[in-house]
Structure 1
Amino acid sequence: MVTMFFLALSFAALTSMISTVELCVRNFVDHGVERSQAVGFTGGALFLFGIPSAALWILMDESTGVAFPQFLEVQDHIWGYGLMFSGLFIAFSIWKYGWNRYKVWQDENDIEGFDFRDYLDNGVSSFRDDFINTGDNDWWIGKWWDYIMYLGFPIMFTVLMGSYFIDVIFNVDDPWNPGNPKGISIVLLFWGFTAAVFILLNRWLVSRPLYRNVPEGAEVPIDTLPGGEDDMILQVGDIWTGGDLDGDGSGKDRVLVAELA
């Protein structure tokens, strides 16, 4: 029975990692990187970044006499609440999309000035209408979803992050010491480094065309989909004529052949 439990636990860990890796790979594939290459360097990066965890050192807690892996303890401390920022970035993209759609609606209708009611009707609900309630969904998502994204999430984020930092400041000795594995400075340093890496990668990805995931046989014109009128939004087989994709100075056009899910 014990063997079956840990075997099932191993399969659960493996299958969850597949979806985690795919999340990263999918972003590169959507920007024209071959899937095999994206899987290769994503797996390689995970291996390299995982070495410290494999070579971790075990320390003994003098107060309890319990041995614990310090490196994993530190990473859990850093990224436990770092996941909240992942949710914040997703929410921000939804907020920004709604605001941009509202500005487009204003331009199309020659309306000047901000009106809160118009923003609710033509901005806040835009993401839900364009990407969720597309007609293919089994469940129709109502306005309650907008309230959660625009009101509920900011409140929950503020409460959770505020309580976390308040707890660390008042209950941890020397919380601003970067060498303190339970302090705040080490958290901010890791978050800042990761943010800098992502910003640099984003500057590279944002200049590349993006694929629309139109399932084969759907026969949906790409220009009818959200963002389909953008020159940087293409389909597999289209030819990109916007310049150099590889940074080698050749400036050659390329037929986009990335795999769609």
Structure 2
Amino acid sequence: METAKIRVDRAKALEIAEFYRAQIIDDPKRPYDLFQAVTPDNVQVKGYRTKSPDSFTIVFAGGEKAQLEAQIFVKDANRIAVYDPGHFSDTGEQMGSDEVGVGDFFGPMVVTASYFVPGQLKFLVEVGVRDSKKLTDARMWEMGPVLCSHFKHCTVAVSAAKLSDYVDRGLSNHWVLAKLHDLAQRKLKEKYQIPDDVTVFVDQFEAGSLYRKHAGDSMIDNPIIFQTKGESHYPSV
């Protein structure tokens, strides 16, 4: 389904919400959701907050009508990001992070964060990227270097011995995971100067509230969305 995305300031975001007579969402469990609405032509419109109080993202999903709906509010077509996400839920500019090695007694726990832009979707499809559980080990070994050379990314890890030490100190695996995800995201953002309003998708392993508690004050300012089986929904994951 074709999707269009625009970035607007607070005044314009509230104007769009009022246009659709959408109720502003004020739910601590959904800190980045601003509003949602459906047009008579069945275009889904969703507004998202960012960490910046004057920067908002509005997403229009609904086939060919999505861009037309976005143009009601932004006349300059160059300011509208249009893409077909295919089986992904979102293929706009994004960061994502996922882990491997959880439950592996002898190996390290590893988290990689990556940066994705819409123009890279065709390459991902051609390479055959999908859930690693659906790929053979041999195929993953082949794809790894190719993906690393094409995508901005950052990988962090903790050894099995260090992980055991954390557990002995009364810290959970989820505490370690949250710290690793946050560290990988911060290093990626700092290295490539990624803006604060780029959404981060995390393969969910615990409730968002617990993740934020475990990550602590070091969390990046970008909006973060948690999704189970995130690799099936977002190309950056």
TM-score by length of 1: 0.23
Higher helix share: 1
Specify which structure has the higher proportion of strand.
2
With a CA cutoff of 8 Å and minimum separation of 6, indicate the structure with the bigger relative contact order. 2
